[in-house]
A and B are shown apart, each in its own frame.
Chain A
Amino acid sequence: MEKTLDLKYTYTEKKDTRSGFGDGLLEAGRNNPNVVGLCADLIGSLKMGAFQKEFPDRFFQVGIAEANMIGLAAGLAIGGKIPFTGTFANFSTGRVYDQIRQSVAYSDKNVKICASHAGLTLGEDGATHQILEDVGMMRMLPHMTVINPCDYNQTKAATLALVDHVGPAYLRFGRPVWPIFTPADQKFEIGKAWKMIEGKDVTIFATGHLVWEAVVAEAMLREEGIFAEVINIHTIKPFDEAAVLASIAKTGCAVSAEEHQINGGLGDSIAQALVRNNPAPLEYVGVLDSFGESGTPTQLLEKYGLNAENIVKAAKKAIARK
């Protein structure tokens, strides 16, 4: 179906976002001798093997001990290093929330918590590993920056941008191969939303893998004469409220799209901005207070209502409520 659409962004290759992290980390290690890596027995899954091979003295295998990993990273940061921790999103957040809260966020340590296999698109491993609450947990923490890039290129750019960003950060990415539709040479500005497609009838605010679904949805809507604006919210915190409000002032209604619980996610940030400044209809595309399950990424996005078709429905609903 995608092929027949007049897409504003296209792709020739698919790759996993976690590889964007792995390749970004390797480049970061070459650029800056203070960059160090830590991993809790998931080097292959996190694509940290190349960094480990090239910088064995700056890489620490922690074993299956995530709480210790967060503390170690905080200590390395005290010593002037720029630690990047790697494990699944589930074990990067919920399992170590108190360690992050006290030793990283409250203590304002320059630790980059890098989390793969986030969301439903982890697929067949099922709900134990498909965390859908991590963005909520991380954005609640004072001092924490929260980033959820959309494809391989943006994840690599975000990883590199984090080297020069001082302070605690959470970088969320995923497992499946996904279209590479953003440019390789993009400048990644932490905290600055990226207007990817200009529109006038409705704004689709998307983050992570669902930015691609938003691009597809925009083309579907355009075939019906509806012109949607698509804004890539790669940084969920700090939140680019000005960009959200400027777009809503023009379109008058919004859809949020994220691979996360509706509770606590990107949509909540948008709702807060709208309620305080310019109340406007908002429809959420996200997981409605449930856990995931086993299946292929495509099947799961369809079953839980997170694909382009659902964004189209939500956009029409938002427009009707104007």
Chain B
Amino acid sequence: MEKQSIDQLKKISSQVRRDCLRMVHAVQSGHPGAALGLTEYFVALYFNEMTHNNNFKMEGKGEDLFFLSNGHVSALWYSVLARSGYFNVEELATFRKLNSRLQGHPATHEGLPGIRIASGSLGQGLSVAIGVAQAKKIDKDDKLVYVMMGDGEQQEGQVWEACMYAAHHKVDNLIAAIDYNGQQIDGPTAKIMDLKNLRAKWEAFGWEVVEVKKGNDMEAVVAGLDEAKSLTGKGKPVLILLYTEMGFGVDFMVGTHKWHGVAPSDAELENALGQLEETLGDY
């Protein structure tokens, strides 16, 4: 797939946000907050940074592979996969409905192209991504493995088992990222279970850490990913601390955990779509 310009990536992001909101609205369930917050990162990965093949093959040999550990961001992933050509964008209309391949949380069970493992129960994706990265090393495949986690997810113990393992085994073909939006279901992470200094924690475990302070600024996201890539292959796994704002792009949704798992009403959807340009055509 051809690399897109920053301007084009921004346009795709606007359409992806429209997709996410319309999907969640149509079925009146889902998780719009983090999906809007992570849009730039996903769009940058799929339309600029990763070498990947939308003619989906499970093993993904010779490709960069992406894994989503915080599976509730599914609407965003589905939109980006469809817009990348993994399946028809019309199928986005089936999101969370009976007999759909677009399950509430990502799954392989129905055979949706682009998904390699189920996620939703938190804390498992980093371990899986490390396993895939080690399989690539055995096969002398020089492509990278990416994995996204939530910041609330850092409260799961398995994340730290995997964190320790990747550094010990020098899994340096891996770029993990944390969606650092400071929010979780019951409120701000600082109040619910303070994560304290994540950078210091990951560095202490032996990782390279790249901070992207403007995770909703496309130039900053692409620059951060480029920097992270430059740090791979040097004996250490790489982490991106991606500072994002939940609900970014819609003025009444931004910066609050209120929209973690709540769908907009008809009027709210209309208001939100008025703030996001339709650039590629709604499904």
Contacts and interface: CB of A to CB of B under 8 A. Distances in A.
Is the pairing of A and B real?
A: yes
Interface of A: 36, 57-58, 60, 62-63, 65, 67-81, 83, 98-99, 101-103, 106-109
B124 A65 contact: no
B82 interface: no
Nearest to A98: B121
B129 A81 contact: no
Contact of A80 (B59, B161, B165): B59
A80 B135 contact: yes
Contacts of A108: 108-109
A72 B128 contact: yes
B233 interface: no
26 contacts: A60-B169, A63-B161, A65-B161, A67-B123, A67-B158, A68-B130, A71-B126, A71-B131, A72-B165, A75-B117, A75-B127, A75-B128, A75-B129, A75-B131, A76-B135, A78-B59, A78-B131, A79-B60, A79-B61, A79-B136, A83-B131, A98-B121, A103-B118, A106-B107, A108-B108, A108-B109
B130 A72 contact: yes
For the complex of A and B, 4 pairs with smallest distance between CB atoms = A75-B131, A79-B135, A71-B127, A65-B161
B136 A107 contact: no
Given A65-B161, A99-B158, A74 B131 contact: yes
Contacts of B116: 78
B75 interface: no
B148 interface: no
A83 B134 CA distance: 12
B216 to A, nearest CB: 29
A62 B225 CA distance: 29
A75 B134 contact: yes
Which of B132, B133, B157 has the most chain A CB within a 10 Å cutoff? B132
Interface of B: 58-61, 107-109, 116-121, 123-136, 138-139, 157-158, 161-162, 164-165, 168-169
Contacts of A57: 138
B243 to A, nearest CB: 26
A72 B134 contact: yes
A59 B128 CA distance: 16
A78 B139 contact: no
A72 B168 CA distance: 14
Contacts of A99: 124, 127, 158
Given A36-B138, A81-B138, A107 B162 contact: no
B128 A67 contact: no
Contact of A67 (B59, B131, B139, B161): B161
B139 to A, nearest CB: 7
Interface of A is mostly: helix
Contact of B109 (A74, A81, A106): A106
A79 B121 contact: no
B158 A68 contact: yes
Nearest to B129: A75
Nearest to A66: B161
B158 A78 contact: no
A310 B158 CA distance: 43
A63 B168 CA distance: 10
A108 B107 CA distance: 10
A128 B125 CA distance: 29
Contact of B135 (A63, A68, A81): A81
A71 B135 contact: no
A107 B125 CA distance: 12
A320 to B, nearest CB: 47
A60 B117 contact: no
A230 to B, nearest CB: 39
A103 B164 contact: no
A71 B169 CA distance: 15
Contacts of B158: 65, 67-68, 71, 99
Given A76-B134, A78-B60, A67 B118 contact: no
Nearest to B106: A107
Which of B108, B129, B138 has the most chain A CB within a 10 Å cutoff? B138
A83 B132 CA distance: 12
Nearest to A101: B121
Nearest to A105: B118
Contacts of A107: 107-109, 117-118
A103 B115 CA distance: 12
B118 A68 contact: no
Contacts of B134: 60, 72, 75-76, 79
Which of A65, A75, A78 has the most chain B CB within a 10 Å cutoff? A75
B124 A78 contact: no
A58 B135 CA distance: 9
Contacts of B125: 71
Contact of A102 (B121, B130, B165): B121
A149 to B, nearest CB: 27
A75 B130 CA distance: 7
Contacts of B60: 78-79
Contacts of B161: 63, 65, 67-68
Contacts of A78: 58-60, 116-117, 128, 131-132, 135
Contacts of B165: 62-63, 65, 68, 72
A40 B121 CA distance: 22
Contact of A109 (B61, B107, B117, B164): B117
A15 B127 CA distance: 35
A79 B118 contact: no
Given A67-B127, A72-B130, A72-B134, A79 B119 contact: no
A74 B130 CA distance: 10
